[in-house]
Structure 1
Amino acid sequence: MNFFGLAVIATIMVPNFIFAATHRDGFENLYKNRIVEFLEQAGRFGCFAFMILNIPVLCRGFWFDGAKTAYFAASSALTVAYLCGWIVFWKENSLRKSIVLSVVPSLLFLESGFFALNIPLIVCAVIFAPCHILISCKNAKMR
């Protein structure tokens, strides 16, 4: 079990829970593409799971000297960037908000998978990232 990954997931979920609590009407998905939506959700929940759970055979470990330090530093920086994105863009509905709040977690999952050679996380992040960014940007443009 990766407790640092659990802390990262818990931290990035905080603004999402606050948003859900303060916006009772929720988020309206205007971009209707069932395949992209399915892949995005599968990738998202896979990323959440594999940030926390390490399957020994599929998680090869930190693959170079300093990879663990780079993992902690990059994950921490991207987590802070995500929280700052929420703070800066809280009241704004814009394409730039959508880009920041979709690209940053995508990078977070990708770098976490690559630094730790966590194969399932890399696969899920590669599925999640383009779908999440596409859905976020399409919704911003359709608003």
Structure 2
Amino acid sequence: MEFGWINLFGAAIVIILLIPNIFYAIKNKDIENRCRNKIMNAIEQIGRYGCIILMWLPLFVWKFEFKSFEIFLAYLVSEGLLLFAYVFIWILYFKKRSYWKAMALAIIPTFIFLISGLALHHWLLVVCAAMFGVGHIYVTYINSR
């Protein structure tokens, strides 16, 4: 399965990931980032925006495709299950915040981005996903203590 210039699956995944984050930001306007490590905050943001863009835009990818139907199927199933878990944990987190939920909400999108990058052989997305994961998990850990 080959894509043109835009991966609609990736764009849909990004939109689904962003919806609960937007609701959270609107509801909790006064929450402060307690992480004072500027390098980790920068790594998180570079990784975040890199992933958001690269999930749907195939920059530096010669052939933007799944190598087989089996890889495409594994991609759909794994991304679908992870998205379901992500939204479900957000619902639980909206009801009552906890450390494990915050960490799960940091880890799950990292795996979503990594799986997308690996399945599509989009190595820049894999690098951004790793950066996002390291930064986001660290910042979440600091903010959840």
TM over 0.5: yes
Matched ranges for 1:15-94 at <5 A:
15-25=20-30, 27-55=31-59, 57-58=61-62, 61-94=65-98
| Count of residues in correspondence between the two structures | 140
Query: Offset at 1:56?
Result: 5.8
Partner Cα distance (2:107, 2:129) in 1: 11
Query: Offset at 1:61?
Result: 3.1
1:45-96 Cα shifts (integer Å, max 9, x gaps): 0000010101363556324551111111111111111100100121333211
Letter in 2 for 1:116: L
TM-score (norm 2): 0.89
TM-score (norm 1): 0.90
Letter in 1 for 2:40: V
- Quote the RMSD (CA, aligned, Å): 1.6
Q: Structure 1: which 4+ aligned runs deviate by more than 6 Å?
A: none
Identity of aligned residues (%): 33
Structure 1 unaligned regions, length at least 5? none
> In structure 2, do the counterparts of structure 1 residues 60 and 21 end up closer, same or farther at CA, with 3 Å as the change threshold?
closer
Q: Is the 8 A contact 1:78 1:104 kept in 2?
A: yes
Matched, 1:107 2:111: yes
